[in-house]
Chain A
Amino acid sequence: GAVVSQHPSRVICKSGTSVKIECRSLDFQATTMFWYRQFPKQSLMLMATSNEGSKATYEQGVEKDKFLINHASLTLSTLTVTSAHPEDSSFYICSARTGYTQYFGPGTRLTVL
């Protein structure tokens, strides 16, 4: 149990375009999901907390107008990187919480050309 999926696993896009990443909890409902960013050989950096039915809470320094988060249901949260630029290239990971534990998706590798 406690499986989280993420789609797509890899995406390459041109600078200036928007990219949407989906995060789904497959076998449980998650009122709270989290979005992380991970640079090569570094730890995970929390970007925002996504609560079902309400606005996301962004960490300091994360541009909420650039990284749009929607948590439309108890099993789906989406992250949209708007007007992506090469510096947005990274590994984006979501997690869904059940009880006191977060379970992570497989990640999405975004490359912006």
Chain B
Amino acid sequence: AQKVTQAQTEISVVEKEDVTLDCVYETRDTTYYLFWYKQPPSGELVFLIRRNSFDEQNEISGRYSWNFQKSTSSFNFTITASQVVDSAVYFCALSGGTSYGKLTFGQGTILTVHP
């Protein structure tokens, strides 16, 4: 069975602070994909990134960066110089090779960025 754990239920920061959202996963699949989605108050899930299990290179996209470490089964997400518009619920998700594309979601982390 697959499992995704986002231990941080809520995080509150002040604008311009850096913040890291943790994600730990469990799977028996050797090939799998990891995702981060953002859900702003409007409700629509916005795709942020996909990583496959064979690519452990960290990725940076503007103020966003992702740290994938297979050894610790973690896929953490860092927002640098946070802004109020970053306030949202962030979901980490996993899709394994045997799950036919189904996503297993973590419980989500509510990020609030205060001005």
Q: List residues of A whose CB falls within 8 A of some B CB.
A: 2, 32, 34, 42-44, 46, 49, 91, 93, 95, 97, 100-107, 109
Q: List residues of B whose CB falls within 8 A of some A CB.
A: 33, 35, 37, 42-47, 50, 52, 91, 95, 100-103, 105-108
Minimal Cβ-Cβ distance residue in B for A2? B47
Contacts of B42 in A (CB 8 A): 106
Contacts of B47 in A (CB 8 A): 2, 101-104
Output the least CB separation between B63 and chain A (Å): 21
In angstroms, Cα B91 to Cα A5, docked, is: 20
**30 A–B pairs (Cβ distance < 8 Å), ordered by A:** A2-B47, A34-B103, A42-B107, A42-B108, A43-B106, A44-B103, A46-B102, A46-B103, A49-B101, A49-B102, A91-B43, A93-B45, A95-B45, A95-B103, A97-B101, A100-B52, A100-B95, A100-B101, A101-B33, A101-B50, A102-B35, A102-B101, A102-B103, A104-B37, A104-B45, A104-B47, A105-B44, A106-B42, A106-B43, A107-B44
